[in-house]
Amino acid sequence: MVNMRKSYGATFRAKVALEAVKGERTLAELSSGFGVHPNQIRKWRKQLLECLPDLFTDRRKKRDKEQEELVSELYRQIGQLKVELDWLKKNRKSSSEREEAAGGAGK
């Protein structure tokens, strides 16, 4: 039988990590209560504590703005490449038509 990995939603992970940060219950109690391995709870608690400072700084906004700029630049490049590809396809057709016309006149 193949063991499937459990997948936990973000809300559940946040709830468990918050309980771990509170420190009212031990990791063993949280583990048995939520049905999650203590090492996983430690990992989620660590992630929560690392991400908390970002909530109160402008770094998050700056990162979001940089991502938006990157996406817009990528869309611009895609548009430019599409125009270049269309131009190459058009010129390839017209050059092959010219070659056929030149070859047909010599026969």
pLDDT digits (tens, 9 = 90+) for 15-70: 999 999 999 999 999 999 999 999 999 999 999 999 888 777 777 778 888 999 99
Residue type, 61: K
**Mean pLDDT of all residues in the chain?**
88
* 36 touches 16 (CB < 8 A): yes
CA distances from 12 to 27, 29, 75, 83 (A): 16, 16, 36, 47
Q: How far apart are CA 90 and CA 98, in angstroms?
A: 13
Determine if the pTM surpasses 0.75.
Answer: no
In the chain, domain spans = 7-56, 58-107
Q: Is pLDDT above 60 for 105?
A: no
Q: Which of the four pLDDT bands, split at 50, 70 and 90, describes residue 6?
A: confident
CA distances from 59 to 40, 45, 47, 69, 71 (A): 27, 21, 17, 15, 18
| Per-residue pLDDT tens digits for 64-103 | 889 999 999 999 999 999 999 999 999 887 777 777 777 6
